[in-house]
Amino acid sequence: MFQALSQGSNLFILYKNEPRMEKARVVSVNTHLPQFNPSQPQAMFNGMVTDLTVSVGSETIPFAGLPATASVANFPDKGMYVSEDMGMVVNELTAMRDNSQRIVDSYEAHKTLRDKCDELLLSLNPERQKEMQNAKEMADLKGELAEMKQMLSAMLGTKQKEK
């Protein structure tokens, strides 16, 4: 629990955007009732909060309003996950990896789904279908023209060598 931390205790910070983990030292701890905020009056019923200041290398990072009885806190806006227990950080990192693996595994299925949606959209929009057909024909004609230019230049090149 964050309220049980004292000066010199370890806190583990997982930087989720990178990912990397840092071991921080607690510089100061302050457990108190949350201040009343009119926009969030229900926060007063959530219990005590703990404000921590930690040092990581030469950097000092403040964490305000952590739930005093919790062992982990997530800061999505900062891309940080903090815990007093390294096992909880390992669990979070494993969950991140598993989620990324699910995304990677679903890539082909989503690519196929996207292609089928494109086909269906084309079949439902005859004007767009004509545009796509014209673009394909234009690309084919350009390819044939480039091939003819290449053949012509090859023929002219060999005739000039004969002379």
Residue 62 lies in a domain: yes
Q: Whole-model pTM?
A: 0.66
Residue with tokens 């305000």: 64
Q: What is the pLDDT of residues 15-46, one digit of tens each?
A: 999 999 999 999 999 988 776 655 655 555 56
Confidence at residue 163, expressed as pLDDT on a 0 to 100 scale: 56
Residue 109 lies in a domain: no
Tokens of 104: 């990677």
The band of 112, judged by pLDDT with boundaries at 50, 70 and 90, is very high
Q: What is the pLDDT of residues 116-148, one digit of tens each?
A: 998 898 888 888 888 888 999 999 999 999 999
Confidence at residue 105, expressed as pLDDT on a 0 to 100 scale: 95
Region 138-159 average pLDDT: 89
The three-state secondary structure class of 35 is coil
Q: Rg of the chain over CA atoms, in angstroms?
A: 31
Which domain, by its residues, includes 30? 2-85
Residue 161 lies in a domain: no
Confidence at residue 118, expressed as pLDDT on a 0 to 100 scale: 87
Residue 55 lies in a domain: yes
Rounded Cα gap, residues 136 and 133, in angstroms? 5
Domain count, the chain: 1
Residue 66 lies in a domain: yes
Rounded Cα gap, residues 52 and 73, in angstroms? 12
The band of 65, judged by pLDDT with boundaries at 50, 70 and 90, is confident
User: Is residue 95 over pLDDT 90?
Assistant: yes
The three-state secondary structure class of 10 is strand
At 57, which helix (H) or strand (E)? Answer: none
User: Which 8-state DSSP code applies to residue 37?
Assistant: -
Burial of 65 (0-12, 13-18, 19+ CB in 10 A): middle
